[in-house]
Amino acid sequence: MNEEFSTARFSAEEAARIVRESYGGVVPQGLGVAEALYDPGEIDWLPESVKAYALGLGNPVRYASLKPGEVVLDIGCGAGIDTFLAARKVGPTGRVIGLDLTPEMLARARANQALLGLTNVEFREGRMEDMPLEDASVDVAISNGVINLSTEKGQTFREIYRVLKPGGRLVFADSVVNGQLPRAVLESEAAFAG
Ligand SMILES: C[S@@+](CC[C@H](N)C(=O)[O-])C[C@H]1O[C@@H](n2cnc3c(N)ncnc32)[C@H](O)[C@@H]1O
């Protein structure tokens, strides 16, 4: 990748620190993001503590054609909104693993899981660049507003390929940069994780 067009001006360690600080301290955002990205019928069963932490950029579950019994990985699950939507689609014979780097986000996600009483969901702490998952163990990987935060995107996609079963699917929503960003933006921690 051409470094001039990359957001990866931080080392992997610096990026992890910035992400943990930024998303660890994030406060509820109101319902605006959830209402913009999801139809009312998709999220009316979710508590406000899930919807107010929707921080994504799209609605990957809507396009993932999830089927009962499938194993789904939600990369950078945050407080769990897409994890829970996927869990409902795959049902009790399926399973959803929410992966996130930030312990505080995982604590929110696990509290939300307890509130919803979902038993087909599991949250794991880890980096998308080095996932704590077995090879060929996932039918569908989803992600929402996360891969842009990777300083090693090639490695992230290799990891996704590794954990997907043959014929597995990846559905993600994210932002892309079409042009060169000013150095001040590339070097800004707030712009990186904001
Ligand atoms: C913009 S939020 C999106 C959260 C969630 N997908 C949603 O739609 O609400 C980005 C999430 O990615 C996580 N994250 C950032 N970098 C990560 C990495 N390298 N590995 C795993 N998770 C990461 C953050 O902790 C945060 O929870």
Looking at residue 148, its pLDDT comes to 94
pLDDT at residue 102 greater than cutoff 60: yes
Which tens digits make up the pLDDT trace of 35-59?
999 999 999 999 999 999 999 999 9
Domain segments of the chain: what residues? 3-193
Task: Give the number of the atom of ligand 1 that is nearest the alpha carbon of residue 149.
Answer: 16
**Quick one: angle between helices 12-24 and 103-116, nearest 10?**
50
Pick the CATH number of 3-193 from 3.20.20.140, 3.30.310.50, 1.10.3720.10, 3.40.50.150: 3.40.50.150
Q: Confirm or reject: Cβ of 101 under 6 Å from ligand 1.
A: yes
Looking at residue 181, its pLDDT comes to 86
Q: Is 134 helix (H, G, I), strand (E, B) or coil?
A: coil
Task: Give the number of the atom of ligand 1 that is nearest the alpha carbon of residue 144.
Answer: 6
C-alpha 175 – ligand 1 centre gap (Å): 13
pTM recorded for the entire structure: 0.96
Looking at 26-30, 61-65, 123-127, 154-158, which range is the least confident one? 26-30
Per the prediction, the chain carries an average pLDDT of 94
Q: How confident is the model at residue 7 (pLDDT cuts 50, 70, 90)?
A: low
φ/ψ of 175, rounded to 5, equals: -100, 145
pLDDT at residue 152 greater than cutoff 90: yes
**Quick one: angle between helices 103-116 and 81-90, nearest 10?**
40
Q: Confirm or reject: Cβ of 145 under 6 Å from ligand 1.
A: yes
